Amino acid sequence: MWIYEKKLEYPVRVSRTDLGMAKYLFAQYGGPDSELSAAVRYLNQRYTIPTNRAKGLLTDIGTEEMAHWEIIATMIYKLTRGVSPEQMENAGLGAHFTQHDTALFPHDAAGVPWTAAYIQAHGDPITDLHENMAAEQKARSTYEHLIRLSDDPGIIDTLRFLREREVVHFQRFGEALNYVHEYMEKDKCY
Amino acid sequence: MSRKEMCEPKDPCLNEYELLEQLMEVQFLVVELQLYLDTHPNDMEALRLYNEAAMFAHRLMQQYQREYGMLMAHAPNGREKWEWIDSPWPWEIDYKKL
């Protein structure tokens, strides 16, 4: 089970309304390498992964990804608060307004809705951990692109935190992978 | 945050946002050490740090909730009204005050 804590993992400070940046941030809300993909990928893989270390890591990183999904949502919410349909349209969010008003919806920066096809679970622990390490790198480079697209110090600060978490998660998945290799070697009967 | 900073008693003059910020910092330390310990379960120094941070976070959490409102619904609430829905929602907090 999960118990909700009514606070963010890291603060979100936004200087001004910025619909262009909100549109780009949807990449991490419902895109292929989004925090949503990360959370569902890890929390779904954990049932069949063999070692307790990897089960712990998938549970705990998957949970942290849900907190990051909430941080991205908060950024988009704050960047779009109180805007008019005209402002949405001028920022390339006219289609979003048509279907969702200013409500959030898990789609990518171009409006393509989230799909489970973005993630994978092979059941092979080596394959799944490599999938996760690749996912962390793809999210890291997405955050670097987003940082280059923003001039708001508050947005940049939060994006830098999220980027750093991808680096740490990559490191932890690498350690879990090494241990799974050892575990599988130990288990072999010749 | 250094260990010394972490273990210093909280300044009683901290306002709601400063206390929330301190809680967020210490809870982040707990998350970071938790992930590290998942892959280094026998690192005694990390385990000791984790236990210290977790205890400190627990105290800050209790203090914040006592003074400013609920962060978790799963806590006894002896007052006259259901207060879970009254404290600010995370996406509505003005973190610039932090």
Q: Does A145 touch chain B (CB under 8 A)?
A: no
- Does residue B89 lie within any of the structural domains? yes
- Does residue B77 lie within any of the structural domains? yes
Q: What is the pLDDT along chain A (190 residues), one digit of tens a residue?
A: 999 999 999 999 999 999 999 999 999 999 999 999 999 999 999 999 999 999 999 999 999 999 999 999 999 999 999 999 999 999 999 999 999 999 999 999 999 999 999 999 999 999 999 999 999 999 999 999 999 999 999 999 999 999 999 999 999 999 999 999 999 988 666 6
- Does residue B3 lie within any of the structural domains? no
Number of CB atoms found within 10 A of residue A121's CB: 18
Q: What's the structural domain count of chain B?
A: 1
Containing structural domain, residue B81: 14-97
Which domains are delineated in chain A?
A: 19-102+120-187 (1.20.1260.10)
- Does residue B7 lie within any of the structural domains? no
- Does residue B5 lie within any of the structural domains? no
Instruction: Write down the pLDDT at residue B78.
Output: 62
- Does residue B50 lie within any of the structural domains? yes
Query: Where residue B4 falls among pLDDT bands split at 50, 70, 90?
Result: very low
- Does residue B83 lie within any of the structural domains? yes
Closest by CA to B21, choosing from A69, A180, A7, A77, is A7
> Are B40 and A175 an interchain contact pair (Cβ–Cβ within 8 Å)?
yes
Q: How far is B39 from chain A (nearest CA, A)?
A: 6
A132/A176 Cα distance (integer angstroms): 11
Residues of B with CB under 8 A from a CB of A: 20-21, 23-24, 27-28, 31-32, 34-36, 38-41, 70-74, 84, 87-91, 93, 95-96, 98
For chain B, the three-class secondary structure string (H helix, E strand, C coil) is: CCHHHHHCCCCCCCCHHHHHHHHHHHHHHHHHHHHHHHHCCCCHHHHHHHHHHHHHHHHHHHHHHHHHCCCCCCCCCCCCCCCCCCCCCHHHCCHHHC
What is the separation, in whole angstroms, between the first and last Cα of chain A? 41
- Does residue B1 lie within any of the structural domains? no
